[in-house]
Amino acid sequence: MAKVSIIITAHNYAKWLPQSLDSALAQSFGDFEVIVVDDGSTDHTPEILQHYVGRPNLIVVTTTGVGLAAASNRGIKASSGEYIVRLDADDYFDENLVLVLASYLDRNQTVGMVFCDYYTIDVHGELIDQRRRAKVNSEVELLDRPALAAGAMYRRKCWEAIGGYNEELRYQEDYDFWIKFIEKFQIRNVSVPLMYYRMHGASMSRNFEGRMQARREIKKRFVEAHRDRLKQQVLAIVPARADKVEGSALPLLKLGNSDLLEYAINTLSACSLVTRIIVSTEDDAIAQRARDIGADVPYLRSKQSGAPGAPFETAAHELLEWLRENEGYSPDILVLRYPHSPFLSAAHVTEAIDSLLLYNTDTVLAVMEDLTYHWQIGRNGLAPVGYQKRVVRQEKDLIFKEVGGLYVCRATNLSRQSELVAGRVGHIEVAPYDALRIESAYDLWVAKLRVDEATAWSP
């Protein structure tokens, strides 16, 4: 029986498997075993594994293309270690990874999982950058960014308590495992890069939209499973000012067969978590159009809340007071869905609400990661904003751009702090093509091109 079990899952990564295997077998920690799961590889993986047969601390398990979640479970079931750490066949470990992480768990008996920083490398093994994760508790408390699945060590009893990896999922099984894990057990990390993560075209993590869709489904399942304690009254508000673009009120601009106001209302209507939709406007024409579509417009905004430049907090606070006094209605959660962002979907709205409930945040923003380098005027000329070096990429240096079309918050934000964005702020990531915000004639032209292209390709 080994102290630590290293589980390597392999599917058609023969060209990188030897480096991965060698790094696992070369660990400086003395008491470990390596379990390799060949999940139906059709390349030279079986031949490579034959060269390692006979190693005393190596076990080979063969499966028939069952997928990463099931292959990981098979490997763990075949292992004996008190601690488990996964390694994908295209990545590799520093020789001290097991020593550092196992020692941490030995010293901290209340911690269920510990993970490390890592390097990213290209297909040739050349260093791309170093990823430093923010320190849990001292630098970050909201655990809504999961650790890399490979290189995270956890106790076997935690895996057993969760029920292993969800084999129904062919994608993002590690994210599902993560949200179940943080609900039951403590997680910590060490700020030492101990793993090399390979970035290549076949890497599952490179498919942004597929990854986001899988995460949305996982969040949805989790919230539905805990519906009794997470049930909330959700009021969706469409802030619809009569700001002009090309001589027309922005919410009434035509895009394809609809206008921007209809896009926003239909998105909210398609979200089953939304219990009521209200359009907040100072304009009679917009109000009538909203009623025609099927939304509620209980009144027109006051001159104060409808004035140019007035923050929406003023209108939202006014609306909540009116609903409480006239209807006795007080929602738990507010969704703001601006009509200037037509490509934010019902799936985005649902994910934002699920994220607020799942991570118990006060606010959730729709954002997109900004990968460009930003500069500001400094004493000696331009100074970098949001990063320290071009090579070392630290989690705390990541920059996210607020999309601006979707916000979810607790109604108490207004009563306690008079702010919609306050307290613990979570986020959902949106693809750049969904984040388009119409504020000018050019933006509208780009949006029409996208709609026309989608129409041309539709069956």
pLDDT digits (tens, 9 = 90+) for 310-325: 788 888 988 999 999 9
In the chain, CATH 3.90.550.10 covers: 4-206, 227-457
Give the tens place of pLDDT for each residue, 137-184. 877 777 888 888 899 999 999 999 999 999 988 778 898 999 999 999
Tokens representing 323? 């609903």
- Helix (H) or strand (E) segment spanning residue 86: strand 83-88
pLDDT band at 219 (very low <50, low <70, confident <90, very high): confident
* 296 CB burial (10 A radius; 0-12, 13-18, 19+): exposed
The number of angstroms, rounded, from the C-alpha of 236 to the middle of its chain's C-alpha atoms is 22
**What is the average pLDDT across 28-40?**
95
State the fold for domain 4-206.
Spore Coat Polysaccharide Biosynthesis Protein SpsA; Chain A (3.90.550)
**What is the average pLDDT across 74-102?**
97
Return the sign of the alpha-carbon dihedral for residues 10, 13, 15, 19: negative
| For residue 197, pLDDT beyond 90 | yes
* 45 CB burial (10 A radius; 0-12, 13-18, 19+): buried
SS3 191: strand
Give the tens place of pLDDT for each residue, 256-306. 999 999 999 999 999 999 999 999 999 999 999 999 999 999 999 887 777
| For residue 397, pLDDT beyond 70 | no
* 107 CB burial (10 A radius; 0-12, 13-18, 19+): exposed
SS3 243: coil
Could you tell me the CA-to-CA distances from 170 to 67, 68, 102 in Å, in that order?
6, 7, 29
**What is the average pLDDT across 365-392?**
77
**What is the average pLDDT across 50-79?**
93
User: What superfamily does domain 227-457 belong to in CATH?
Assistant: Spore Coat Polysaccharide Biosynthesis Protein SpsA; Chain A (3.90.550.10)
